[in-house]
Amino acid sequence: MTSSHQQANAIVAERLHRVYAKKGRWLRSQGEVVAVEEISFAVPTGTIFGLLGPNGAGKTTTIKMLSTLLLPTSGSATVGGHDIVRDERQVRRQLGVVLGGDRGLYDKLSARDNLVYFGTLYGMDAPSIKRRANEVLELVKLQDRAAERVEGFSRGMKQRLHLAKSLIHDPPILILDEPTIGLDPNAAVDLREAIAALVPDHTVLLTTHYMHEADLLCREIAIVDHGRIVARGTPREVKGLVAEDRRIEITINQALDGTAATIEREIATLPGVRGASREVLETGETRFTILCAEPTLTLDGALAALRAHGVAVSAVEVAEPTLEDAFLAITGRSFE
Amino acid sequence: MSAHPGVRYLSPAGHWWATMTATLRSQLFIDTTYLISIIRQPLGGAIFFLLMWITYQASGQSVVAGTSAAGFLLIGQVGVEAWGSTIWASGYAIQHERSLGTIGALFLSPASRVAVILGYGVSGFLWSLPSLLVLLILGLIAGARFAVADPLAVLAALVAVYGGSLAVGFAFASAFILSRRGNLIANALQTPIHLLAGFLVPRSSLPEVFQAISNVIPAAHSIDALRASTLNGASLGDIWPSLAATLATSLGFVVIGAWGLRRVEFAARRSGSLELY
């Protein structure tokens, strides 16, 4: 890892590897699980980089290692040019971190008091804390609610306060773990706007399992699955992996019970199909998503398979591929 | 370090002090948001004092270790309060941060863990002051009489009682990082410590092996000093051996705490259990 490489990149991970011991009852060990397998990537300074993947892919483990909360089993990484194991204190000073989840704030304190406390933990003087608190509250649009206790905040407001908290000491590098998870669409849009406004003054490493979010915000992305990076590049480049393909969505307006898995398997083995998945919609309908090179041929085959099982189709849609489709094509399975 | 040119940072000493006082203020504010806690705090100590006093009265002992049972218990109860407020406040600091989900943010900051834990401990001390006032009134009603010859000795002994308890609480803080159920260890130790430290019965009445064990508890020595200076008119010169023993044992616990915090934080980062609750 050269120093010029480190200067151009705010975060550099090289073959980061993390193994957890699976704990049984009391002190018994039940073997090991590889959470992150030799991940390497670099985040250019002043950009937003997305780590994408389904739940359990290894995103959070990766960012916990980068933020010094977790030691890697092997491999190395630098944040702001500092080694995450040897120079943990310097790394922490460079970083603002939003960890996933609903907690992480003092519910009985006001939004402003939370920011003042965390600013103090970072060693800022009182006038700087006061000024920065006003700035970040304005950035996340909470200035009118600053004096209210956090316990009365909605999840979206808490997430925005988390972002403000991570920014209070104005770190050059931010790590945001699933910042919009569980938010209603409007709150998510507000938060994404705030994140987009952070560059180029800050470097942002973002984990998400919302592909459209990564598409909107990130200059580069890495798709993580089962602890490994399976694709990397700009969103356009990753989508380019399936540029020649088409996505077919077939919606079934009936319960499929045990036949759904069989139908999915049959569709997945049709000629030209790169991946197939199914999901049950909130309406109770079942939707099959198919990624294929020859949509006409595949559609004929899929409809024939459905008819053979006595299933009537209620809607069919053929569309351009998305990042989800890229994931489906690369891993052969759905993102969720 | 910062992308923001206007952010100014405190000196290391200033950062340490600001962290301690900010933690103290925040915890006091949080504690006082619950009305039930404000009521319960002095009530618990008062009930325990009355229970012990009635027990002594029922057994026909009005004089304990050369002083009135009420006076003996009143000072012992100061030890109980100091132990309860500081041990639980400082030892429980880590578990509390875990429960709130703020421990990750705390450990990610460059703030001194010692300053944070001390902030919790001092807030616990301030939180116990109303209890001490209620106990003083109850003790006087029950017949406690003071014989103070050297107020400075009383102050020094009182500081030693709280300082010694704080040191043990600091050592306990690492147990709370190591185990998510560290409170069970502290719970199990609480009553034996009350007995061994001589809060409830004179240490001289304990079996010899227990008396020997009690020597490693800072509060055992500082309570001796507080009783001597408040009830028997001892001067600073008279109680200095007890104060020195408190200081020595407290330093031992502080060293264990500082070493333990560093070790268990590393262990928690290695196992990935730091943020689990």
CB–CB of A8/A44 below 8 Å? Answer: yes
The residue that leads in pLDDT, A281 or A116, is: A116
Give the distance from residue B215's alpha carbon to the nearest chain A alpha carbon, in angstroms. 33
Query: Which pLDDT band holds residue A6 (cuts at 50, 70, 90)?
Result: low
Give the distance from residue A169's alpha carbon to the nearest chain B alpha carbon, in angstroms. 7
With an 8 Å Cβ cutoff, are A69 and B33 in contact?
Answer: no
What pLDDT does A336 receive? Answer: 59
Which residues, numbered 69 to 128 in chain A, qualify as contacts with chain B under a Cβ-Cβ cut-off of 8 Å? Answer: 69-71, 89, 92-95, 97, 99, 101-109, 113, 116-118, 120-125, 127-128
B3 occurs within a structural domain: no
Window from A173-177, A184-188, B244-248 with minimum mean pLDDT = A184-188
What pLDDT does A44 receive? Answer: 94
3-state SS record for chain B: CCCCCCCCECCHHHHHHHHHHHHHHHHHHHHCCCHHHHHHHHHHHHHHHHHHHHHHHHCCCCEECCEEHHHHHHHHHHHHHHHHHHHHHHHCHHHHHHHHCCHHHHHHCCCCHHHHHHHHHHHHHHHHHHHHHHHHHHHHHHCCCCCCCCHHHHHHHHHHHHHHHHHHHHHHHHHHHHCCCHHHHHHHHHHHHHHHCCCCCCHHHCCHHHHHHHCCCHHHHHHHHHHHHHHCCCCHHHHHHHHHHHHHHHHHHHHHHHHHHHHHHHHHHHHCCCCCC
A64 lies within 8 A of chain B by CB: yes
Quickly name the fold that domain A244-320 has. Alpha-Beta Plaits (3.30.70)
The domain tally of chain B equals 1
**pLDDT tens, residue by residue, B36-59:** 888 888 888 899 899 999 999 999
Residue of B108, B180, B275 to mutate, testing the A interface (most A Cβ within 10 Å of its Cβ):
B108
A147 lies within 8 A of chain B by CB: no
Find chain B residues with C-beta within 8 A of A21's C-beta: 271
With an 8 Å Cβ cutoff, are B8 and A127 in contact?
Answer: yes
Find chain B residues with C-beta within 8 A of A127's C-beta: 8
Say if A3-239 and A244-320 have the same CATH topology.
no
Splitting chain B (277 residues) into consecutive groups of 10 residues, what average pLDDT does each group show?
67 95 92 83 88 92 87 93 80 77 83 88 87 92 91 95 89 70 74 90 92 93 95 94 96 89 79 64
3 state DSSP class of A49: strand
B163 occurs within a structural domain: yes
With an 8 Å Cβ cutoff, are A123 and B110 in contact?
Answer: yes
Q: Give the one of A67, A109, A128 whose C-beta lies nearest to B6's C-beta.
A: A128
Residue of A23, A103, A135, A204 to mutate, testing the B interface (most B Cβ within 10 Å of its Cβ):
A103
What pLDDT does B1 receive? Answer: 42
What pLDDT does B247 receive? Answer: 97
With an 8 Å Cβ cutoff, are B108 and A116 in contact?
Answer: no
CA–CA separation, A35 vs A53, rounded Å? 13
B166 occurs within a structural domain: yes
Most confident residue range from A3-12, A207-216, B127-136: B127-136
What pLDDT does B181 receive? Answer: 66
With an 8 Å Cβ cutoff, are A120 and B111 in contact?
Answer: yes
Window from A253-257, A278-282, B22-26 with minimum mean pLDDT = A253-257
| Residues 6 or more apart in contact with residue A160 via CB below 8 angstroms | A140, A141, A142, A187, A190, A191, A194
Residue of A122, A148, A198, A201 to mutate, testing the B interface (most B Cβ within 10 Å of its Cβ):
A122
In this structure, chain A runs to a length of 336
**pLDDT tens, residue by residue, A23-64:** 766 667 777 888 999 999 999 999 999 998 888 889 989 999
With an 8 Å Cβ cutoff, are B105 and A125 in contact?
Answer: no
With an 8 Å Cβ cutoff, are A94 and B1 in contact?
Answer: yes
Nearest 5°: the CA angle B201, B164, B28 is 105
Architecture of domain A3-239: 3-Layer(aba) Sandwich (3.40)
First-to-last C-alpha distance (Å) of chain A = 35
Find chain A residues with C-beta within 8 A of B95's C-beta: none
> Quick one: closest CA in A to B102, which residue?
A104
Q: Which of B78, B198, B72, B83 is nearest to B135 (CA)?
A: B78
What pLDDT does A27 receive? Answer: 65
3 state DSSP class of A225: strand
Nearest 5°: the CA angle B45, B48, B54 is 140
Q: Which of A60, A59, A63, A66 is nearest to A85 (CA)?
A: A66
A174 lies within 8 A of chain B by CB: no
> Quick one: closest CA in B to A128, which residue?
B7
Find chain B residues with C-beta within 8 A of A200's C-beta: none
Give the distance from residue A56's alpha carbon to the nearest chain B alpha carbon, in angstroms. 15
In this structure, chain B runs to a length of 277
What pLDDT does A22 receive? Answer: 73
First-to-last C-alpha distance (Å) of chain B = 32
**pLDDT tens, residue by residue, A63-112:** 999 999 899 999 999 999 999 999 988 898 889 998 866 678 999 999 99
Q: Tell me the average pLDDT of chain A.
A: 87
Percent of chain A with pLDDT over 70: 93
With an 8 Å Cβ cutoff, are A95 and B105 in contact?
Answer: no
A31 lies within 8 A of chain B by CB: no
Residue of A120, A163, A204 to mutate, testing the B interface (most B Cβ within 10 Å of its Cβ):
A120
Considering Cα of A87, then A89, then A91, then A93, what sign does the dihedral take? negative
B113 occurs within a structural domain: yes
What pLDDT does B3 receive? Answer: 46
Q: Where exactly are the structural domains of chain A?
A: 3-239, 244-320
Question: Tokens 């001892």 — which residue?
Answer: B234
Find chain B residues with C-beta within 8 A of A68's C-beta: 108, 269
Q: Give the one of A101, A131, A165 whose C-beta lies nearest to B101's C-beta.
A: A101
Q: Give the one of B3, B26, B272 whose C-beta lies nearest to A20's C-beta.
A: B272
What pLDDT does B77 receive? Answer: 92
Nearest-10 Cα torsion for B223, B225, B229, B232:
80
Question: By a Cβ cutoff of 8 Å, what residues of chain B touch chain A?
Answer: 1-4, 6-10, 14-15, 18-19, 22-23, 26, 29-30, 33, 100-102, 104-111, 116, 266, 269-272, 274-275
Find chain B residues with C-beta within 8 A of A165's C-beta: 105
